[in-house]
Structure 1
Amino acid sequence: MNRNFQVNLGYQVVNWRVRMINLYDFELSGSCYKIRLFLNIPGVEYAAESVDFVHKEHKTEKYTALNPFGELPIFEDGDTRLRDAQAILVYLAKKYDRSNQWFPDDAESMGKIMQWLSTGGGEIMNAAGARLVKILDYPLDLAKLQADARRVFKIMDAHLATREWLELGHPTIADIACFPYTALAWQGDIDLAEYPNVRRWLVRFRAMDRFIAMPGVE
């Protein structure tokens, strides 16, 4: 949202238009956590509005007016409003990452990172679905979700056998996109013991500067 402030200098009134970053958030959502985590890395200040996901507040008219898909997170930066965690990560990286390391500008780097953003918002969400079944008793096919999640973790484990990070040899928003629901897989009764390279990657991720945790990811 934008807020207007007026300062009276005695002979004129000056209007300051201040940008306000707002995150519609649910503490236990791995997708919302991606945004909180990445906002913390460059130290971007924001306001968080808690939304009751358990009782489906995000499906009410107030929030579907902001995101017709009825999903979290929802992100606002001044007049810019975005949905989808991966899209928000791209926006934040291009706008607030002065190092340009989290989403570099060259085509090859962008392509390599984007394929993992797709994985983080796609195949890894099978682990998120299994978690919803176990924690909130969602009527989903738990066995299929677990099997599909294990398939993607097996692929990630093979990929990480020869590297420390998903791409480019250093942390990028690819890692941010894939980390939360991998780290939370245990809450969907998915054991990562068979994926040692994934587990080592999780340890490296937690050791990053300015890492913050969420419930279930200590």
Structure 2
Amino acid sequence: MGTVGCDGMLWLRNLCSPHESGEFNRADGMVRFRRRLRRPFVAPFEEFDAVLEVAPINYGFPLHSIVLRHRYTGNSISLAGKMHHIEIDRVNALAFWDCLQRYMDVTQPLPDLPVLERSRHLDPVTAQYDSRTGRPERRWRNQAVTGWKTGGERRLRAQLERYPWQQHACIIQARLSDTIRIQDYYRALEAAGVEITPDSQDYQCLRLPERG
């Protein structure tokens, strides 16, 4: 370490694994995340199942985190500390998962978040929606902090508390049918030139259970 230096080690790490923390790519529908000493894992977003994990901290206060598990390989990634706050409660964790699904669904406009406001005009579906609904271009940037703290934040919290979470199907559904074999599914993706980590050869011995 003394010879190479911290900068050299960081350069070498980034050279071997260019995806620092991974990405959720709305354009191609892929999820990418790093794995230690291996190439980044890449798979379609619709192949991941969300798990709400709860862990107690001091005095038994529960902390919630969203973990995405890849349905066919067992790879997983926790989004706590990466995409949502570590100290998050249940309703905000569920709201975050709903938001992430809508972000990855190109048939819907981008979620109305401050961090995405500068990019809304670049997404055709979102730009159409904003034009149709008359959404102000600088809605969040012109929002007074005091007004948000005294009114908007409280209304949002009340809305999240009232919403019937987990009573509806996920917005983005897996598109695998009940009859297609997993290896055929991945073979079709490979034929289409989709770059993914799972390989159709890995599932040659798998068969779906016969239905009675």
What TM-score does the superposition give when structure 2 sets the normalisation length?
0.25
Q: Which has the higher contact order (CA 8 A, sep 6+)?
A: 1
- Structure with the larger helix share: 1
Task: Provide the TM-score with structure 1 as the length reference.
Answer: 0.25
